[in-house]
Structure formats: structure tokens, C-alpha cells
Amino acid sequence: MNFGKVAVMMGGKSAEREVSLNSGAAVLSALRSAGIDAAAFDPQNKPLEALHGENFKRVFIALHGRGGEDGSLQGALNLLNIPYTGSGVLASALAMDKWRCKLVWAAAGLPVPDYEIVTPASHFAEIEARLGLPLFVKPANEGSSIGISKVKESGGLRAAFALAAQYDPCVIAERFLAGGEFTVGIIGDQALPVIRIVPQTEFYDFAAKYSRDDTQYLIPSGLGSARETEIRTMALRAFQALGGRGWGRIDVMLDAEGRAWCLEANTSPGMTDHSLVPMAAKAAGISFGELVIKLLEEARCD
């Protein structure tokens, strides 16, 4: 395809800026290696209107967090009539908002862990008692495990809430599931091989994702063929329930009895050659360069 000049949207203003710069650099390198006229575009440094001024014909979104994967950028690109990679406005907004994402999944009959919205007026001890300990506390509209805490002792919810509330006024407390963490990459209508994530930290936090080299990513996942198919099917259903398109990732947890639960959705996952979706794509026989081109081919407006 003749893509024209491609903007790799990277950086931005969110708390995940540095992660986005890494993703964008990897995508930009792959596009240029394929002979595509591509350039970096950081919306922190220039207005989106410059996309027309600089004659960009498509946008590869490598932004993470607010302003990049929450629907706002997607809406702006729709108005500019510039095709872009990944999901549109609604799916992006729903996936970014962990609370409303859970509401949609529950309405669609998908399993979600027990949770409660926490506010300054909440009865913290009662929430701890209802959900049980340990539990996780997270801002509803952040990614990369930013602002997340694992509460292991009675009375710890208040401090965990205060930390999460620094990043978002909507804070979720969620039941801990002890059966392991898995993730499923999605490309179009295909669910990629399941990855089992085994951090050496207390949980899969920011350091385990980006700065430590001892986190294990297991492909095959060890689930067995039938169970893997079940979880991939569930993940694809979860992605489609949000209206997702192009590509994304669904995080899944197992409980102590081995039951699978939908945890979170990501419509703009990491895109370095060590990130989870490229890792799963490689296991499916899709190279990083092929993946980037495939995603760009599917770029469109709502």
C-alpha cells in the first residue's frame, strides 16, 4: 500500500510519556526500515493541526495513557479526517476507564472480579472486609500500573486510596485473585497466544514491566490447549464488547480455583520489540516489522 507520509504519534503529556517515547521509537524504526516515509510527532511540542500542514496522511498512535488512548486524540483525528491505528473514540474511552469497562463487560456477561469505587467518604474497613485481603487499589484512568497498591494488612486501604487519588479522582478497590496473571494480544479478529506473566516483585508493577530483567513471560502459557482456547475466546469477546478494532490487549487473571476473569483492556499497548503484543505476535509467526505494517494497513477514522 502507498501509505503516504505517516506520523508516529509519541510522547505526549501523560504519566506514561517515557514509555510512549520508547514505543514510538521502535515503531518509527520499523516503518523506516520498510521504506515508509514516517516521522515522529509529539503532541506535547506541536498542535495537531500541524498534521495537515506537514502533509501527514496516516497516524500510527504510539501514545499511552490520557490524551493518547482515552478517545480524545481519536476524536481529534476523526475531525481532521486523518486515518489512525487502533480503536475509535468509544472503545478507547471505555478501555481507559477501568470502572466503566467493567460495567460494560458485566453487562455483556463477561466475568469481572469483585470491586468497589472508593471515595474520601468511604468506610475503608467495611470495603476491606467485603473484598477481603489482600486487595488491589488503582486509579481508574491510568496505565502501566501507575498509582497501584496491594493492600495486605487491615487499615491499609486509606493510604492506598490516597496514592491512587493523586492520579485520578475515580479510585477502584479490587479483589485479589491468586491464580496467576495472563495477557492476550488482539490483532483484528484474531486472539494471539496467551502469555503468562510471572513477576519477581510483589505484583506486576511499573518496575517489573519496564526496568527489571527478571520478569518471566511464558509462551506457551502452560494452560494447555483447551484452556488456552477458552481464554483467547473470552479475551476476544471482551475486546469486541468494548467496540475495539485494529489491535489491543486484554489482561486476564485466574483465581485460586482456576477460573478466568477479565481484568483490564488496553487499546494502545506497548510497541517495543520486548512488549507483550509484539511478543505474542512473534509466537504466532508475525515479526515486529510485519506487525507494524499490518496495524498501519488497518488505520481508519470512525
Q: Determine phi and psi for 33, rounding to 5 degrees.
A: -65, -25
| Active-site option among 42, 246, 264, 268 | 264
Beta strands 135-139; 58-61: pairing state: unpaired
User: Is 270 a catalytic site residue?
Assistant: yes
| Active-site option among 84, 115, 167, 210 | 210
User: Is 210 a catalytic site residue?
Assistant: yes
User: Is 264 a catalytic site residue?
Assistant: yes
User: Is 222 a catalytic site residue?
Assistant: no
Q: Is 89 left (phi over 0), alpha (psi -120 to 50) or beta?
A: alpha
| Active-site option among 246, 249, 268, 275 | 249
Q: How does 39-62 read in b/e, with b if 16+ C-beta sit within 10 Å?
A: ebbbbeeeebeebeeeebbbbbbb
User: Is 67 a catalytic site residue?
Assistant: no
| Active-site option among 14, 23, 92, 144 | 144
User: Is 275 a catalytic site residue?
Assistant: no
Provide the sign of the torsion angle of the four alpha carbons 3, 272, 267, 55, taken in this order.
negative
| Active-site option among 16, 42, 97, 174 | 16
User: Is 78 a catalytic site residue?
Assistant: no
CA distance 151 to 239: 29
| Active-site option among 141, 266, 268, 275 | 266
User: Is 290 a catalytic site residue?
Assistant: no
Provide the sign of the torsion angle of the four alpha carbons 152, 254, 187, 288, taken in this order.
positive
Which residues belong to the active site?
16, 144, 210, 249, 251, 264, 266, 270
